[in-house]
Structure 1
Amino acid sequence: MYTLLVKTLSGFEQLLVDDIREYGGEILSVQKRSVICKGDHRLVVDVNVRSGVTVFVYILLEKFTAASKEHYVRNVSKIPFQNFVKTHQTFAVKSDVFQCPWIDNSMYASLLLKDAIADVQRKTSGSRSNVNVENPDVEFYQYIYRDSVSIYINTSGQPLYKRGYKTLSAKAPVNEVLAHGILRLSKYNQNTPFVNPFCGSGTFISEAVMMRKKQYPNSYRQHFSFSNFSWESFDTYWKNLLNSVPQNTPLSDVEIYGIDNDYTAIKNAQKTLEKIAEGCKVRIERADFFQWKSPVDKAFLLMNVPYNQRLKIDSKAFFTKLGDTLKKNYSGSECWILSAGKEHTRHMGLKSSQTIPLYNGQLPVFLQQFHIY
């Protein structure tokens, strides 16, 4: 059994807990943007492949206390790193350090761990691995809080919002993990026409398509770091898992619409959806949403509106026009808006029934629900 540190985005912790429990994992603790749990190699693969709200999955290798640098070096040198990274493989180290009395620099902490790994390899095999910061075969992560040290190995590799199906992004993107989590928080109704104004490169639509087709969020991803591990049969279970997915899932006839005025964004969305949306009724159109003639009266609308950060807008004019458009064309619909906050959406003249604080990257944003009457 492994103890896992599973990272997610702020606001998605309960969604991640639900996923881990569904896969048979035991929840040990829930923290800000992460969950500590316990399970076997199948849970490691399941959380990487099946959970759409996971960013990284780490396996705990060792946990100890260290009152000094010397104490740290003695303890970390006892870890059998030769079992986790072979000398022909490359490795990298990342660290987070908080309130530690004997070290306050995460880069120096990473250097200490890197040297310890190399020393263990030399003692056991006479040689050591090279370091590759950009694309390592194996990545170690350490978390130091005061005198508590936890050493992990990264089973995901690249962050899991890199699904493997996307080409290029438009301006002001929403990453795939954020889009997936928002669809779940909004309890996306797959039996209602889905309208995604300002769709950009189609991230919300892509994740909605994956949900409709009952495909695992990371089923298009070609590589996870656990494939580089020789000490457990992660790969075998991964391949069996992908082969177990039904290939001919009956699909709803309900249509999905994406609208954006940006030519490049629309082309990127269309290219992505050519790859993953076979069998789904998806229409991507280059149009001004305020002028677009909707083919449906009632819909489930979800939009990521400009935050007036990278994409500059006249906030009052934009949201007033948005509110007028929704009230005129979408009476009886449900609308979810991801925005920079209530000070912007209040100009819509609609009352939100729910507000959920989230982050888009480092930017605080708010997901609001509106029932349009």
Structure 2
Amino acid sequence: MEVLATAAEGTADLLAEECRELGLTIVHVRRDGVVLDLNTKATAKALVHLRIATRLLLAVDDCFSSDAEDLYRSIRQIDWRRWLDDRHTIAIHATGALPGSPEAPSRRGRAPRGPGIKNHVFAAQKAKDAICDQLRNRIGERPSVDLEDPDVRVVLRFRGDRCGVYLDISGEAMHRRGYRVDMVEAPLKETLAAAIVRAANWDGKCPLLDPMCGSGTLIIEAVMLHLGIAPGAMRDFAIERWPHHGQSLQALLEKEREQAQHDAKEAIANAQLPSVVAADFDRTALRATRTHLERVGLDKLVEVSRVNARRMDAPPAGTMIVTNPPYGERIGGKDVTDLYRDLSHHWAPFEDLDLHILDGHEGFIGAFGYQPVEELALRNGPLHVRLLHLRMDESFKLQDPPVANPTL
């Protein structure tokens, strides 16, 4: 079956890498994810082991949808008895560029003949009507709608006058691993953190440090990746509740989860890691980090330390720093560029640092004072960000070096 593994902006190629490593069959890579050809066993493997995918969506149809009547007609022509019955609840979610919107791809097609598709809520309502009308006509009853916790979620992904129709296999977004319970301000999603640490390519040999760790997500995802700890071993998936597919796949998923949990225990017991430190100055963040490390079983492998990143002691030579500093958008305030200058001034003497910094502030490079070796454009929620790979040596230093703020 054809499955779309969706990915956050900028992470599709990284997702494709991990799909290949898992032995999953790739049909093609798109900007919004990776199209896979999966049997039921491979689907269970993908759900339990993929780190960067945000959702797994089963492709049902790709239909014409220039107006509301086209959408209704196309959705009603699909035989929904293959996946739905009247005893299980449904919800419809619509996203993407609606026909006639500025974001829609331009193509010559049939002009709309009926009412336009006003918004995503209207599109979802129209699709729900089509599904319920068809099932009522064919089996005499219709499924109930549950917007909060449906058994089956239908996803419409619009591309102008074309609409991809999918069923959400994963259910809750796949960044919900099951280990994060304590929230801190502006948390980083686990799927994006997994993409960042994969791009940073930590080999488990050099020391690893996040001096502004928040709830510890980057460090946890880095160690999980290195030890091969499956991200989906602690959670359930929507497809297990489907009327006609859930039971057979549930057995495969249970077996996959049990094996993943067994492998994780062995990997943790036999782990030989260098210094791995999750640090922050905020005590609430450190409490959250400790809780999350304990839930994954990594609390004996990772040191948690209260550190002011502007004043911290020199880490071991060759340390990789992977961190997500304040951007000034939600935390950090007006002095955020002073923070960047202070970090640069204080870290410059440290020996052979390998820096991977998630930058969401347009003034970061100028304030930090070094050109990146390379950068990767990403998206953190609504924010456009960049993952910067930096080396603090003279060949990358800007002409006007940053000056530390003596008042801080």
Q: Same fold (TM over 0.5)?
A: yes
CA distance in structure 1 between the partners assigned to 2:24 and 2:289 by the alignment: 35
Change in Cα spacing, 1:214 to 1:145, as seen in structure 2 (3 Å) is closer
- Match of 1:155, as an amino acid? I
Match of residue 212 from structure 2: 198
**Are 2:175 and 1:161 equivalent residues in the alignment?**
yes
Match of residue 229 from structure 1: 242
- Match of 1:289, as an amino acid? A
Change in Cα spacing, 1:139 to 1:349, as seen in structure 2 (3 Å) is same
CA deviation after TM superposition for structure 1 residue 341, in Å: 4.3
Match of residue 366 from structure 1: 386
Match of residue 86 from structure 1: 85
Aligned residues: 370
Query: Map of 1:268-287 to 2, 5 A cutoff?
Result: 268-278=288-298, 280-287=300-307
Pick aligned residue for 1:131 from 134, 145, 148: 145
Match of residue 265 from structure 1: 285
How big is each residue's C-alpha offset from its partner over 1:123-144, in whole Å with a ceiling of 9 and x where there is no partner? Answer: 2332222111111111001123
Query: Is the CA contact 1:357–1:366 (under 8 Å) kept in the aligned structure 2?
Result: yes
CA deviation after TM superposition for structure 1 residue 64, in Å: 2.8
Match of residue 216 from structure 1: 230
Change in Cα spacing, 1:79 to 1:114, as seen in structure 2 (3 Å) is same
Match of residue 17 from structure 1: 16
- Match of 1:326, as an amino acid? W
Query: Is the CA contact 2:68–2:123 (under 8 Å) kept in the aligned structure 1?
Result: no
SS of match in other structure, 2:53: coil
- Compute the TM-score of the two structures, normalised by the length of structure 1: 0.92
Between 1:30-39 and 1:174-183, the stretch displaced more is: 30-39
Aligned alpha-carbon RMSD (Å): 2.1
Query: Is the CA contact 1:209–1:277 (under 8 Å) kept in the aligned structure 2?
Result: no
Q: Which structure is higher in strand share? A: 1
Query: Map of 1:293-372 to 2, 5 A cutoff?
Result: 293-294=313-314, 296-311=316-331, 312-328=333-349, 330-341=350-361, 343-372=363-392
Match of residue 186 from structure 1: 200
Pick aligned residue for 2:266 from 248, 257, 261: 248
Match of residue 77 from structure 1: 76
Percent identity of equivalent pairs: 24
Unaligned stretches of 5+ residues in structure 2: 101-111, 394-408
How big is each residue's C-alpha offset from its partner over 1:37-57, in whole Å with a ceiling of 9 and x where there is no partner? Answer: 322123322222211110011
Query: Is the CA contact 2:323–2:356 (under 8 Å) kept in the aligned structure 1?
Result: yes
Query: Is the CA contact 2:63–2:162 (under 8 Å) kept in the aligned structure 1?
Result: yes
Between 1:86-95 and 1:336-345, the stretch displaced more is: 336-345
CA distance in structure 1 between the partners assigned to 2:118 and 2:23 by the alignment: 38
- Match of 1:134, as an amino acid? E
Runs (4+) off by over 6 Å:
none
CA deviation after TM superposition for structure 1 residue 297, in Å: 3.4
Query: Is the CA contact 2:204–2:273 (under 8 Å) kept in the aligned structure 1?
Result: no
Query: Is the CA contact 2:2–2:59 (under 8 Å) kept in the aligned structure 1?
Result: yes
Query: Is the CA contact 1:341–1:366 (under 8 Å) kept in the aligned structure 2?
Result: no
CA distance in structure 2 between the partners assigned to 1:40 and 1:281 by the alignment: 36
SS of match in other structure, 1:94: strand
CA deviation after TM superposition for structure 1 residue 282, in Å: 0.9
Query: Is the CA contact 1:209–1:276 (under 8 Å) kept in the aligned structure 2?
Result: no
CA distance in structure 1 between the partners assigned to 2:173 and 2:67 by the alignment: 32
Match of residue 98 from structure 1: 98
Change in Cα spacing, 1:306 to 1:68, as seen in structure 2 (3 Å) is closer
Match of residue 45 from structure 2: 46
How big is each residue's C-alpha offset from its partner over 1:334-355, in whole Å with a ceiling of 9 and x where there is no partner? Answer: 1111112462232223332112
CA deviation after TM superposition for structure 1 residue 149, in Å: 2.9
Query: Is the CA contact 2:232–2:257 (under 8 Å) kept in the aligned structure 1?
Result: no
CA distance in structure 1 between the partners assigned to 2:4 and 2:133 by the alignment: 26
Change in Cα spacing, 1:360 to 1:278, as seen in structure 2 (3 Å) is closer
Between 1:38-47 and 1:97-106, the stretch displaced more is: 97-106
SS of match in other structure, 1:268: helix
CA distance in structure 2 between the partners assigned to 1:23 and 1:316 by the alignment: 41
Change in Cα spacing, 1:72 to 1:7, as seen in structure 2 (3 Å) is same
CA deviation after TM superposition for structure 1 residue 68, in Å: 5.0
